[in-house]
Amino acid sequence: MNKDIFFYEAFDKEEEALKRYLSPNVKAGFTWKTIQEEGSLLPPASLISIRTQSVIPASWATQMSGLLTRSTGYDHIHRDLHQTNLPCGYLPLYCSRAVAEQTMLLWMSLLRKLPQQIHQFNRFNRDGLTGQECQHKTLLIVGVGNIGYDTVQIGKGLGMNVLGVDIDEKHAELSYTSIEKGLPQADIVVCAMNLTPDNVGYFHYSLLKQGKPGLIFVNIARGELSPTEDLLRLIDEKFLGGVALDVYDKESELAILLRGGKVHDKSRETSVTLELAKRPNVILTPHNAFNTEESVDRKSAHSIQQVTHFLRNGQFLYSVPKG
């Protein structure tokens, strides 16, 4: 190991920003690939940084001094390193506004049938394109953390009736409700929950059927929270009015496949996601909600702050909570 840190999943813009903040005394390596795509048998540095699609080899845990995930979520750290005491850090504060704005972009695009509008431009045909305004619609946000709360603020600014579902009702000005009471009222549901072992598959078929016909569902949290097969069924039954996803079950496999890599056995979840993408009232984006110039800059600054603190002190400023 001749490097202090190695950054996986660093796309061009992010690598450029990381280098801008990195001290010249720190030896760093970069790749856009995941750990499994890059294929190293041993960790290329004692400190490793990933995003959400890398699978950390179990054998690496004893060969590393620490791991930093450049993400607000850390369920993948619990998944891969739950039996180790390896110091792990994350970035809780960098992207809440960026993700909230993308969330709004997605529900607005579905309300106004933007994919269909683009498709019908060549015929200048407005049939079937009558959309809806968001003012006075009921927006139900499930999971009111940093991202969820910024989404609350945007919804209120648009004149929407905003409801929240969360076990921690910490915002006095927000109307909280239960999922059972909130779903029948909602025109748009946003999933902004943390993924835990207890809420996998939370937005399943039977739960979403408690909503109104025509409900719009947006997930910018984790794909495992909303089974893709159930979403496809609800779209094909014309119960859901639209689905927008920025996150996916088996996301690492899906990403590698779509980038032209080899997947040994394509999972059913990935096959169903590719089928879902064919529907005209579905928008799928490549886990890109965080990706604004402002957020990438904050992300890089916070990452290097974490790296610098770890290299000096052997611990992170923001450590991944124990699972």
Q: What are the domain boundaries of the chain?
A: 3-94+293-313, 96-284
Residues 6+ positions from 313 with CB-CB distance below 8 Å: none
What SS3 state is found at 238?
Answer: coil
Q: What is the DSSP string of 153-213?
A: HHHHHTT-EEEEE-SS---TTSEE--HHHHGGG-SEEEE-PPP-TTSTT-S-HHHHTTS-T
- Reported as a pLDDT band with limits 50, 70 and 90, residue 62 is very high
Domains 3-94+293-313 and 96-284 share a fold: yes
How far apart, in Å, are the Cα atoms of 14 and each of 195, 293, 298? 25, 9, 10
Q: Domain 96-284 sits in which CATH superfamily?
A: NAD(P)-binding Rossmann-like Domain (3.40.50.720)
Task: Please write the tens of the pLDDT for every residue from 198-244.
Answer: 999 999 999 999 999 999 999 999 999 999 999 999 999 999 999 99
pLDDT value for 323: 67
Task: Please write the tens of the pLDDT for every residue from 250-287.
Answer: 999 999 999 998 877 889 999 999 999 999 999 999 99
Buried/exposed 56-83: b ≥16 CB within 10 Å, e otherwise: beeebbeebbbbbbbbbbbbbbbebbee
Alpha-carbon span 39 to 41, nearest angstrom: 6
pLDDT of 1 higher than 70: no
Task: Please write the tens of the pLDDT for every residue from 88-103.
Answer: 999 999 999 999 999 9
pLDDT value for 107: 98
Single-letter code of the amino acid located at 246 = D
Single-letter code of the amino acid located at 95 = C
pLDDT value for 264: 76
pLDDT of 15 higher than 70: yes
Task: Please write the tens of the pLDDT for every residue from 153-189.
Answer: 999 999 999 999 999 999 999 999 999 999 999 999 9
CATH architecture of 3-94+293-313: 3-Layer(aba) Sandwich (3.40)
Give this prediction's pTM: 0.94
- Could you give the count of Cα atoms lying within 13 Å of 29 in the half-sphere of its Cβ? 17
pLDDT of 115 higher than 70: yes
pLDDT of 84 higher than 90: no
Chain mean position to CA 79: 16
For residues 186 and 137, the answer to whether their CB atoms sit within 8 Å is no
Alpha-carbon span 6 to 8, nearest angstrom: 7
Alpha-carbon span 26 to 9, nearest angstrom: 19
Nearest Cα to Cα of residue 185 among 132, 219, 139, 226? 139
Can you state the angle between helices 96-111 and 293-313, rounded to 10 degrees?
150
For residues 35 and 80, the answer to whether their CB atoms sit within 8 Å is no
Highest-pLDDT range among 55-64, 78-87, 100-109, 253-262: 100-109
For residues 199 and 219, the answer to whether their CB atoms sit within 8 Å is no
